[in-house]
Structure formats: C-alpha cells, structure tokens
Structure 1
Amino acid sequence: MADGIRAQQREQTRRTLLRESRQLFATKGYGAVGLSEIVRTAGVTKGALYHHFDSKAALFRAVLEQVQREVAEQVAAAADAEADPWTQLTAGCRAFLTASTDPDAQRIMLVDGPAVLGWTEWRALDEAASAHHLTEALTGLIEAGVIARQPVAPLAHLLSGAMNEAALWLAVSGRPGDLDDTWAALARMLESLRAPYGTTAA
C-alpha cells in the first residue's frame, strides 16, 4: 500500500514538473529558464527534479515529446474523421498547421526543440511523433494510384519541412488570414502531387 502511494506521489511530481516547466519554456524560452525557477514554480526540491530528470535538457526533451505527441494526436484525429484517403491527408496537414500556430507549440516544438536537442535528435522525435503518419498516408496514396509512383521518403521529408517552415513563418507573421493563405498555398502543392485521372499505381 505504501509503495503504491509513493509511486502515485512520484508520478504526481513528474506531472507537476512537466506542466510547470512547459509553461515556463513556452513563455520565456529554454535559455531564459533556470532549474531554480522550475523547482520553485513546481514546489519541489532539486533532488525531486533530479530523481526524474538528470538535466534541464532531459526535462525539456520530455516536454517536447509531450507537445509533439499532442500535435500528432490532433493530426490523427482530423485524418481519422475522414473516409477518403486523399481527404485524410489534406485534413491531417491542415490540422498540423493549425495546431502548430499555437504559440506554446511553436516555441517548444519548432524554435527551441532543434536548438536544444540538435537537428538529428529533434528530427528523430518528429519522425516518431507525427512524420511517420505522413509517410504512411503518402505510401497508401501512391499504392492506390492517387499520387504518381515515386520514392516516399524524400517526398515525406519535403512536405514535413514545408509545413514546419510554414508554421515558423506563421509564428511571426501575425496578420489575419495568414493561416488561410498558407493553407491555400499548401493545398495547391498537395494537389499538384495527384496523378492524372486514370493513372494507375502500376
């Protein structure tokens, strides 16, 4: 019984650290937040923090994974709500752009993420969170003949990079209608991938 209570307390401490550090990272940026401020805001000791995370970077990584997972869930939900595979792709892409315009997600996922973890590790997390959904969707569309047959990996990376770059631009543009304009441009890019009517996957 006591072990179960201690386990619950440890999990509660971890959740608190993630919640409070996420808010600090989102509002101030990784570089402006110190461990002392994190533990003070979370109401825990540094020892408690180090029990769960061996560094500020490790804590940030956990926060980033949480943000990426939430965005991926929003993308998957938007895609799953559609029956047609092509509409699933476009709905998922639009959901990613919309989710990425949230200031917290932008700062943590797109600005500080690559800078703190390095491009290689950040890309690996991005692949694990949402990029593989894009790869799967493109693979299915190519196999069905909706998109002309071509290597999937470079296409998925190009589209993923375009959407990440668009989200970063939206973070600083600030004009009404920019999200709609960005989506319209992306939709035209996606439409250009469609195979001519009657083309098969052979």
Structure 2
Amino acid sequence: MPPVKSRREQYSQATKAALLEAATRRFAEHGFAGTALEDVAADIQASRGAVYHHFASKTALFEAVVEALETEMIREVVEAVATTPDTWQAAMTAMEMFLDHCCDPDYGRVVWQEAPIALGWKRWKECEEKFAYGLIEQLIKALVDSGEVPPLPLEPMARITFHILGSAGMALAEAPRTGQAQGQGRVLRGDQAPAERSAQAGGQPFLTRCAGGAAPCGGGVGRHPRMS
C-alpha cells in the first residue's frame, strides 16, 4: 500500500498540476514569448514564487507542458492500439490519433509551433524521439512480423516513418483552423475504404508502406520554417 501523502504534499501536487494547466492555456493562446510567469501564476491566484518552487525557469515550465501533452497523446494511442487486434488497423489507428492530436489547438501550437523555438531544435527533436520514436518502432516491427510490410531493416524504416509523421504533424499544426486541417490529415494518411486497402495489400498505403515511396510534405523533417 503506498504511503499516505501529507496535506502539504497534496497541496503542492495540486498547485503544480494547476500551474501546468494554466501554462498550457497561456502557451497555446499567446505562445512562449508572449507568456509571462506572472500571468500563469495569476491565473491560479498564486505568486510567482510558487511557479519557481516547482519550475526553475519559464523554459522548464514550457518543457513540462510539452512532456505532459506528449505523455497524454502517447497514453491515448497506446490504449487504443492495445484494444485493436489487427496489426494493420492498430498502426492506422495510432497514426490517425497522432494526426488528430496535431489538429488540436493546444497540442498543435505548443508541441509543433512553439517548442522548436522555445526549446531549440536539438532539444525539441530529443523530446519527440523520447515519446514517439519507440512507439513507431514497435508498430513497424509488428507490421513486419505480420507480413503487412516488407522485412526491410527496422531502424531505417522506423526513422524514415518518424520523420514523415513529423513533417505531417508540423503541416497540420500550421494549417488554418477552419476544417482544412482535418481534411489535410486524411490526405496525408492516404485514407482508403476497406475494399481499396484490401486491393492494395501489396501496394502503397500507410505512408507508402512505411516510407517505401514518396513522402508527404517533401519527405522528412527539415528545419523549422521560423528557424531558417
């Protein structure tokens, strides 16, 4: 049985959770540069000192927000995949959920638009690999084992697919919020009816069968447009 937390520990955890929630709203609406720690603290009626008690800097708070958003996205994807027995459908479900998250205003702006600037390109890429790459590698291994994709070397297939999905995620996050982003997601996924998927079992769905053909968005993650 886990030890019972003191009232002070419970209050501290509640304050940290409230700060993360308020910071998520602020970063999504105003961006990293337009968000002040005083405003985040004021949103939950706390002091700036309360922010620094939990986070060493605005960058540390922002990175915690990114990690929270990524953790929730991965959790939802893993839960959905776990209940999908068909390996191909599991991969399609995972990809669809990821792209749908990229259309979310909070996740899309914070993770894909603000994070490369706030954290720097190298650190942002490390975060993306920490959360997404391992899951992609597992899904592709399952597809190879089931015969859905050719038995090519796993690491290059996972790496290329990771970069293609990164390009798709960035494109969706930067698309207008008028319904076009969802439509673009369907194009990037190469959606097909079940009969079409069956007819093309040896063809090129699912990001051209795990990067066997041309990649969307120019293929691979390049420099962030605001960093070039």
**Residue 119, structure 1, aligned to residue 121, structure 2:** yes
Residue of structure 2 in register with 1:198 after alignment: none
Which residue identity lines up with residue 185 of structure 2 in the other structure? L
Residue of structure 2 in register with 1:89 after alignment: 91
**Residue 5, structure 1, aligned to residue 4, structure 2:** no
Counterparts of 1:38-77 in structure 2, within 5 Å, are 38-77=40-79
What is the CA–CA distance in structure 2 between the aligned matches of 1:191 and 1:82, rounded to whole Å? 22
**Residue 105, structure 1, aligned to residue 103, structure 2:** no
Task: Tell me the CA shift for residue 47 of structure 1.
Answer: 1.5
Contact 2:190 2:207 in 1 (8 A): no
What residue ranges of structure 2 are gaps of 5+ in the alignment? 193-203, 213-228
Q: 2:205 aligns with which of 174, 180, 188?
A: 188
Number of paired residues?
193
Measured against aligned partners, the alpha-carbon deviations of 1:76-119 in whole angstroms (never above 9, x if no partner) come to 12322211112211211111111111011011111111221123
What is the CA–CA distance in structure 1 between the aligned matches of 2:97 and 2:155, rounded to whole Å? 21
Identity of paired residues, percent?
A: 26
Task: Tell me the CA shift for residue 140 of structure 1.
Answer: 2.6
Contact 2:137 2:158 in 1 (8 A): yes
- Partner of 2:171, secondary structure, is helix
Change (3 A) 1:165 1:194: closer
Change (3 A) 1:180 1:193: closer
User: Mean Cα displacement is larger for which, 87-96 or 75-84?
Assistant: 75-84
TM-score by length of 2: 0.76
Change (3 A) 1:27 1:58: same
What is the CA–CA distance in structure 1 between the aligned matches of 2:56 and 2:208, rounded to whole Å? 46
Task: Tell me the CA shift for residue 127 of structure 1.
Answer: 2.3
What is the CA–CA distance in structure 1 between the aligned matches of 2:211 and 2:167, rounded to whole Å? 23
Which residue identity lines up with residue 152 of structure 1 in the other structure? L
Q: CA RMSD in A?
A: 2.4
Residue of structure 1 in register with 2:139 after alignment: 137
Residue of structure 1 in register with 2:217 after alignment: none
What is the CA–CA distance in structure 2 between the aligned matches of 1:84 and 1:191, rounded to whole Å? 19
What residue ranges of structure 1 are gaps of 5+ in the alignment? 196-202
Residue of structure 2 in register with 1:199 after alignment: none
Q: 2:169 aligns with which of 160, 167, 170?
A: 167
**Residue 179, structure 1, aligned to residue 167, structure 2:** no
TM-score by length of 1: 0.85
Change (3 A) 1:4 1:164: same
